[in-house]
Structures are given as C-alpha cells and as structure tokens.
Amino acid sequence: MNSIDTNKKFTGAEIFVKCLESEGIDLVFGYPGGAVLHIYDELYKQNKVSHILVRHEQGAVHAAEGYAKSSGKTGVVLVTSGPGATNSITGIADAYMDSVPIVVFTGQVRTALIGNDAFQEVDTVGITRSCVKHNFMITDVTMMAEIIKKAFYVASTGRPGPVVVDIPKDITEDSCEFFYPKEVKMRSYVPYKQINTDSVNEAVEVILSCEKPIIYAGGGVINSNASNELTLLAKYLKFPVTNTLMGLGCYPGDDPQFIQMLGMHGSYEANMAMHDCDLLIAIGARFDDRITGKISEFSPNSTILHIDIDPSSISKNIKAHIPVIGDIKEVLNKISEIIIKKKLKPRNIDNWWGQINEWRKKDSFKYKQEDNVIKPQYVVDRLYAVTKGDAYITSDVGQHQMWAAQLYKFNKPRRWINSGGLGTMGFGLPSAMGVQFANKESLVCCVTGEASIQMCIQELSTCLQYALPIKIINLNNRYMGMVRQWQEFFYEKRYAMSYMDALPDFVKLAESFGHVGYKIEKPSDVDSALKDAIKLKNKLVFLDFITDQNENVFPMIATGAAHNKMILS
Amino acid sequence: MRHIISILLENEAGALSRVAGLFSARSYNIESLSVGPSEDESASRMTIVTSGNDSVIEQVVKQLDKLIDVIEVSEITSAEHIEREIVFVKIKKNSIDEKKLDHFPNNEFFKIHKTISNDIIIECIDSPENINIFLESIKNITIKIVRSGSIGISCN
C-alpha cells in the first residue's frame, strides 16, 4: 500500500477508507449524516474496517477513548458536520484533558459553501481548536492521505491527544492517485527530545541522598507503557508510591509499598507523605489543583524531581527543582541503568516507613457495612473480591468514581478507565463499550451512579446491537452524591437540585433495551448479584444497587486547603 | 514585566488564531502582535509583546512551543535585541507650524505626509518608549493614531 498505484484514481471517500486500512485501523465509532455519506458508502462496500454505530456522537468519542485507554492503540471516530461535530466536543475535550490518542473525523459542508451558514455547518476547526492537540481541514483531495497520516502521528506520539480532521463533502467526491506515506516528518513537531544526561545524574543524586522520598506517579506512566520500569525501580529503592486518579494501575495496587491514591479524596498516608517528604518524585503527573490543594503550603520541605514528556507540564503549578524532560520509560531506564546496574544503594528510610505506617493506621478509606442498607463502598469492595481485581473498570464522575478509585485495587495498567481531567458525567457506559471492543473476552464493569448513567443511557441500544456483555454497577443513592456532599459541607445542607427525583425503573429500562436488570437492596444480596451477573457471560447486566443516601467520600481536602488539613470523617 | 516573544510558524490556515487563541484561553496578556513573511516562504514570523512574571513567561513560551504549527519560539528581551515600531499620526489641519514639525523630537525616522485635503500625517519609526514620548507631546492636536505593534529581532 506504500507505493503509488499508477494511473489509477480514487475518490476522496475511497482514499479515506484506504488510509484507515493502511494505518491498521479496524474499528471506527461513528454516526452517519449528510456530509459523510460518500464515506459511509465506501465503508459499506468493504469489510476491513468495521464501523460501530453509536446512538449519540458523544458516545462515539468516549467509546474511542475507552478503546484507546485500555489498548494503547489510537481510537477513531467518524461523525457528520454541524451537530455531529458539536455533539462530539465533550468527548474531544475529555480526551484532551486526559491525553488520550484519538482521531476524530468530522464531515464538513462543501468547500464552496464554507462560511455561508450552510445547512449543518459549524466552524469545527475553530470550535475544537482549544481542546485538541491539533486539527486539520482537508481542502484538497491530494492532501488527504498526508493529512490523515499526520493526524495519526500527532495523536499517538509524544504526549498523546485528540486530533480532529475536518473533511468537506466535495473533497470526498474529488479524485486523485493514492499514496499513503510510510512516515511523516514535521519540522514544527518533535515529540521525543533527547534526554538531558545532566538532569538524569542530578535525579540519581537526589534519589540516593534523600531520607523521606515519595514517588507520585500519574497517567503519563501508563501512556508511556512504563509500569514495569516504574515498579522495578520503586521496588529496588523500596520507596513509597502514590498514584494520581489517572495513574491507578501503573503500580500494583495491592503492593505493600503502594500508599494509595493521593489528592482531594486520597489516603491520609499519601497526602501526609506528600506534605512531609524531602524528595517528591513526580512521574507523568501534572500537579493539578485536585492534587496540590493549597499551592503555597504544598509539600513545603521537599526537593521536587519532575519527569514528564511535556515541558509545559513542568513548573506550571509547582516549581520543579530538577526537571527531566523525556519519555518516561526511557528516563526510568536511564535512572535504573545507573542505580540498579551499579547496585547503588539509597539511604536507609526505615524511619520514614515507620511514620507512613503510623499514618496508615488511620485506615482512611474505612466504612462500616451494617445489616440493612448497602454502603456504596461495600459494593466496590465486593466487586474487587468477586472479580479478583482482574476486571476492566470504567466509571462516571462523582462519589462512585472516588470509591471505585479508592477501593478497587488495580494491579495492572489500562484497567481503570475514567474521566479525570474534564470530569465528564456520561463517560462510563460508552467508554466501557470501547473497552469491551478492545478486550473482547474480558470482563468489563462500569461503576456508575444513577445521575451519571442517565447522561449517555442511549448507548444501551448500541450495547444490544453489538452484544456487549458489560456489567453496569449502578450505585443508586437517589442524589447527585458529590454535589450533595459539597452542599452538606459547604452550603449548610441546602440541597439545590441535587436530588434525583422521578428516577426510571432501571431494571425495566435495561429490559426494554433487551438486557438483564437486577435491583439489589440488601447487603446480603450484593455478592450473589455480582456473581450472577458475571455468570451471564453474553449479557449486559444492569445492577441497580440501592445504597445509603447519606454516605460521603472521605478523606477530603477542601478546595484551597493544605494536604495536612484533611477531613477524615 | 514586559517581554518580547518571537515566533516562527508554519503558513498554515488558522495558525494565527492558534497563537491568539492560546493567549486568550490561558489568560495571557497581549500588548501587541504583529506578523509578516519571513526568510522562509512557507513560514511567518510573529512578534508578540506580552507581560507577566518569569513563571508566566516560561509557561507562555512552553505553551507556544507545544502548538504544532510553531517551528521556533524565543523570548528575546533577556539578551541583546532590537525593537522598533511604526506609527502614523493624523493631526488637525493648521494646528501646528509646519516648520516646528521639521525639528520635532529626535525620533529615528520621521516623515511628514500631506494629504490632498491638507491634513498632516506624521510617520515615525522608533522604539515604543520614544514613540510614546512623541505621541504624548502632540496629544492635544492628535486626531487618529495607527500603530504597527512592535517587531523585534535578537542580536545573537
């Protein structure tokens, strides 16, 4: 496919499909419409690229994200112009915030009509500009193959992200010869820069001389496929490891050196250790406000060593004393080459571990399951036990997301799929579809709440069409739980609009879509319901757990508070 | 503090709005922006004058560098550089003795244009500071000011 097929001309729509094929894409999530009909016609005529029909474009993008996050491959979306494009914006912004490699193809009105307020016209390139890694409009069919190649290259290299390619309808009619470039070079885009040896040496020096270290690892470790390298180095050094919400799974969740997630709802020991450490090793994490709390009181006595591929993440919120810019896997390998190969020993940090283990005794994620009402945490705990920690878990946004993050111990990367940066309610179900497509034989569970699930509930129909046996774990507390929690704490219990009145019967709802639904009200039924659902290998099961309405997520660091000012219960 | 940032960027459709959009999206300040062709026909050179503390400027430069269309970006104020701006000022008819204009302040380049309707347009090229001084001195008779925004070049 890399040589010129001489004399033979293809339409833009044909070239589009050939490009996907040449790029090794076998799955596209999308929704047809006027501007992309030529492309859909070509998709219909072949069988190498499968198209998954979603029920709303937002669902297509989240599905592509779930596919990409769980597999490491680039997710692909195809939507029409106008509302097709605008409906996909939330997903694109989500992928941008969480650095997910996806390419979104949007139809556009004919070039002659652009700017004329034509039917289903929006300035897609303009609208998406601030939430994409890059975007393109194809204005000439001869540019199509090169632009598509560039789009995949930009999306998947360096710090990954979404790329939008806008294709006017007439471009899909025009024809030219087809040549798909093997590689592209862009002088203005250099995704992998040479790692500075001096900074690596400096890093090694502080690692070997610190007494109270902590490794703070984020989603960048997963994007760089560097979990093994991180685990190897951390184990050798015997340093404590905490993860961001996006980093969960990059270090084994059940390892004794793992001191749980940090941040607003992180563990007592992780946040205290961040505050008191003398060396903070940030790896593929970006010090966002949910992590740092009050900036001026953040980790006041530490040297900050920050490893990241994106220079703009370094010293953005917190000044890094030792920045190391580069691909995390490569940087960790370089550090290990010096420390492990030469068998250099770090200082004894037993006292530090003694302190951390004292903090650990607070058992800050604890809850008490009594006989009558199901505690939401209990469901996650049991899900972990029943699935032996080996399921793919997607989540929506809110309390259930925090409980899943706190209590499901992720031992492998790419198992925890959630919307971290943008915090998109509605992410859970469609992303689970993408995960299931990428991992056909695996168990995929969507931990959600009754508010979030309703935001993309239409995708139950997609799940029926493609027989996706997702298990939906609905923690139903009849409240927008996190909103209610904030209103309880900070608004004197004025529960403005956080009560979910007039909920549907989720069991019947699931059944109406051709799925199985269970309603679980007793703690003693939790285990059996989970086991029964998993036994139904080929069915989507909607498990509606009626949980304690007033449960809150603890610990909590209020916005603008310091790490050592945690609310524990 | 005031900083001049020089950017070389691909002549792609929308490249300018990527740069301008970045400044508004991240609440960075733009004092002036000017753009024109460069020695490379496929690229344009842009000069942006902005202000902020060191960490803000560090972020501005890094964020600009991250834009895919940006080939090169440098902050040029911290080392030897030259900065100039051009201004046109239209002044009121007969408001000033023309002879006086001839030995007006010592601006580097100073030219008087007369329009058909006998208005006077003064053209002046200088550093923005000197242009400010000049504009202040003729404030009372000024009708219209058109400034190009600064362009700058590093001497290294």
Under the banding of pLDDT at 50, 70 and 90, the label for residue B103 is: low
The predicted model gives B102-125 an average pLDDT of 82
pLDDT-derived band of residue A7, with 50, 70 and 90 as boundaries?
confident
Provide the shortest C-alpha distance from residue A244 to chain B (in Å): 23
pLDDT band at B116 (very low <50, low <70, confident <90, very high): confident
pLDDT of residue A2: 52
Query: Sorting pLDDT into bands at 50, 70 and 90, what band is A569?
Result: confident
- Per DSSP, helices labelled H in chain B are 15-25, 54-66, 98-102, 128-137
Q: How far is A311 from chain B (nearest CA, A)?
A: 7
A315 touches chain B (CB under 8 A): yes
Split at pLDDT 50, 70, 90, the class of A5 is low
Q: Report chain B residues whose CB lies below 8 A from the CB of A133.
A: 68
Per-residue model confidence (pLDDT) at position B146: 98
Residue A379 has pLDDT above 80, yes or no: yes
Percent of chain B with pLDDT over 70: 94
- Give me the pLDDT at residue A410, please: 97
Q: What ipTM did this prediction achieve?
A: 0.92
| pLDDT at residue B16 tops 60 | yes
B96 pLDDT higher than 80? no
Per-residue pLDDT averaged across B68-87, rounded?
A: 96
The C-alpha atoms of residue A145 and residue B51 are separated, in whole angstroms, by 41
Nearest residue in A to B70, CA atom: A188
The per-residue pLDDT for range A141-154, each reduced to its tens digit, is: 999 999 999 999 99
Question: Mind telling me how many Å the CA of A182 is from chain B's nearest CA?
Answer: 20
The answer to whether A466 touches A63, Cβ cutoff 8 Å, is: no
In this predicted structure, the answer to whether residue A310 has a pLDDT above a threshold of 80 is yes
- B contacts of A311 (beta carbons < 8 Å): 62, 65-66
Interface contact A532, partner B, CB < 8 A: no
Q: Which residues of B touch A193 (CB under 8 A)?
A: none
Q: Residue B156: what pLDDT?
A: 86
Say what the alpha-carbon torsion angle A483, A460, A389, A538 is, to the nearest 10 degrees: 160
How many cross-chain Cβ pairs, A to B, lie less than 8 Å apart?
Answer: 39
Q: Do B65 and A315 touch (CB under 8 A)?
A: no
What residues in chain B have their Cβ under 8 A from chain A's Cβ atoms?
9-10, 13-14, 17-18, 21, 25, 55, 58-59, 62-63, 65-66, 68-71
Model pLDDT, residue A402: 98
How far A107 CA lies from chain B's nearest CA (Å)?
Answer: 18
| Residue with token string 């540019």 | A143
Set of chain A residues whose Cβ sits within 8 Å of the Cβ of B61:
none
**Residue B105 pLDDT more than 70?**
no
Chain B CB within 8 Å of residue A69 CB:
no
Binning pLDDT at 50, 70 and 90, where does residue B99 land? low
Neighbouring C-beta atoms of residue B132, cutoff 10 Å: 14
pLDDT higher than 80, residue A353: yes
What lies within 8 Å, CB to CB, of A380 at 6+ separation is A400, A403, A404, A406, A407, A408, A447, A473
Band the pLDDT of A293: cuts 50, 70, 90.
confident
Whether A125 and B14 lie within 8 Å, measured CB to CB: yes
What percentage of residues in chain A have a pLDDT greater than 70? 99
Query: What is the three-class DSSP state of A298?
Result: coil
pLDDT value of position B94 = 75
The reply to whether A311 touches chain B by the CB within 8 Å rule is yes
CA atoms within 13 A on the CB side of A92: 30
Neighbour order of strands in the sheet with A516-520: A416-417, A392-395, A444-449, A471-476, A541-546, A516-520
CA A370: distance to chain centroid? 34
Weakest-pLDDT range from A45-49, A243-247, A362-366, A563-567 = A563-567
Q: What is the pLDDT of residues A87-132, one digit of tens each?
A: 999 999 999 999 999 999 999 999 999 999 999 999 999 999 999 9
In this predicted model, what pLDDT tens digit does every residue of B24-57 receive, in sequence order? 999 999 999 999 999 999 999 999 999 999 999 9
Would you state the pLDDT for residue A403?
98
Among the listed residues A493, A506, A501, A498, the one whose alpha carbon sits nearest the alpha carbon of residue A481 = A498
Catalytically annotated residues of A? 57, 119-120, 169, 482
- Give pLDDT, residue A501: 87
**Residues A474-489: tens digit of each pLDDT:** 999 999 999 999 999 9
Per-residue pLDDT of A484-506, as tens digits, reads: 999 999 999 999 999 888 999 99
Contact call for residues A81 and A106 (beta carbons, < 8 A): yes
Percent of chain A with pLDDT over 90: 94
Average pLDDT, chain A: 96
**Residue of B10, B11, B68 for testing the chain A interface, max A β-carbons within 10 Å:** B68
Candidates B10, B62, B69; nearest CB to A311: B62
Q: Measured in whole angstroms, how far is the alpha carbon of residue A286 from the centre of its chain?
A: 14
Of A533, A530, A522, give the one whose Cα is nearest residue A380. A530
Return the pLDDT at A89: 98
pLDDT for A142 equals 98
What is the arithmetic mean of pLDDT over A56-80?
A: 98
pLDDT in tens, A54-63: 999 999 999 9
